[in-house]
Amino acid sequence: MLPTPDISHLASADYQNVYEPAEDSFVLLDALEKEAEYLKNLGPSVCLEVGLGSGICVTFLGQLLGSGCLYVGTDINPQAAKVSHQTAQRNGVSLEPVITDLVSALSPRLHGCVDVMIFNPPYVVTPSEEVGGTGIEASWAGGIKGREVTDRLLPDVNKLLSPGGAFYLLIIKENDKDDLARVMKSSGFSTTVVLSRRSGPEFLSVLKFVRHSSPKAPDG
Ligand SMILES: C[S@@+](CC[C@H](N)C(=O)[O-])C[C@H]1O[C@@H](n2cnc3c(N)ncnc32)[C@H](O)[C@@H]1O
């Protein structure tokens, strides 16, 4: 088992502004660990996390896959970009954090280049008016079905992923897995559930999207 990244440099004052890792974060880490062999066999060159928060997820990915890969991450919250850089550095991972809305600043430069993409989005069902902030509220406010932020990213997944690339998305039941699978199928992706876990009132899952025709990662 890979240790969870050290985030002891973050204090409660940081968590006033940046999402504190919680069960959803840890479910994503567990899913990535479960996928470790698959991910290593992909031989990734570029990994991208959308919604860095504390940086714990991309740092974990960096520990899993090593230094032969470029790690890029985005957040709309400038404080998250700052602390995620510290988290990566503290754990020996080199991260390029970018303050931007979803992946705007990376398009089209990274089109077709991203081998592994991860997103633990603001997934909570809230009134639409709560969506669109750049502070801590951006961590959870997901609008209708908790999908308003995620849905804006989906068209970019097809543009960004390399031919054999994989996209991992954390969802709750209310985000409607079957509808997400239908939307992604229309742009050529198949969906599998890597992991599911109940945490209090939330039923969390990590979905994995790969192209129907994507080459299988070589065994190894
Ligand atoms: C649930 S938190 C996850 C943080 C971290 N990845 C984790 O798992 O602990 C969602 C993150 O997405 C960021 N976010 C929300 N809307 C965004 C947007 N439009 N573009 C980029 N990041 C966004 C939030 O600021 C927050 O850091």
Per-residue pLDDT of the chain (220 residues; tens, 9 = 90+): 899 999 999 999 999 999 999 999 999 999 999 999 999 999 999 999 999 999 999 999 999 999 999 999 999 999 999 999 999 999 999 999 999 999 999 989 999 999 999 999 999 999 999 999 999 999 999 999 999 999 999 999 999 999 999 999 999 999 999 999 999 999 999 999 999 999 999 999 999 999 987 555 554 3
From ligand 1's centre to the CA of 220, what distance in Å? 33
Residue whose CA is at the smallest distance from ligand 1 atom 2: 139
| Domain annotation covers residue 9 | no
Residue 147 in tokens: 């999908």
Q: Domain containing 59 — which CATH number?
A: 3.40.50.150
Distance 16 CA to ligand 1 centre (A): 14
Sign of the dihedral through C-alpha 129, 197, 84, 165: negative
CB count in 10 Å sphere of residue 20: 16
Entry pTM: 0.96
Please indicate whether residue 25, judged by its CB atom, sits closer than 6 Å to ligand 1.
yes
Q: Does any ligand 1 atom lie closer than 6 A to the CB of residue 60?
A: no
Kindly state the tokens that stand for 206: 């990590």
Residue of the CA atom closest to atom 6 of ligand 1: 52
Kindly give the distance from the C-alpha atom of residue 182 to the centroid of ligand 1, in angstroms, as a whole number. 24
Exposure letters 75-97 (e unless 16+ CB within 10 A, then b)? bbbebbbbbbbbbbebbebebeb
Residue nearest to atom 24 of ligand 1 (CA): 139
Ligand 1 centroid vs 219 CA: distance in angstroms?
33
Ligand 1 in reach of 53 Cβ (< 6 A): yes
Distant-in-sequence, close-in-space partners of 103: CB < 8 Å, separation ≥ 6: 48, 50, 74, 110, 153, 156, 160
Query: Residue 216 falls within a domain, yes or no?
Result: no
User: Is the residue at 10 inside a domain?
Assistant: no
Q: Is the CB of 120 under 6 A from ligand 1?
A: yes
- The answer to whether residue 105 sits within a structural domain is yes
Enclosing domain of residue 56: 16-211
Q: Which amino acid is at 132?
A: G
Whether 44 is covered by a domain: the verdict is yes
Mutation test residue for ligand 1: of 74, 75, 123, 150, the one with most atoms within 8 Å of CB: 75
**Looking at residue 220, what is its pLDDT?**
36
Per-residue pLDDT at 140: 97
Confirm whether 136 is domain-assigned: yes
Contact of 64 with 132, CB cutoff 8 Å: no
| In a domain? residue 194 | yes
Instruction: Count the domains in the chain.
Output: 1
Q: Is the CB of 10 under 6 A from ligand 1?
A: no
Residue 1 lies in a domain: no
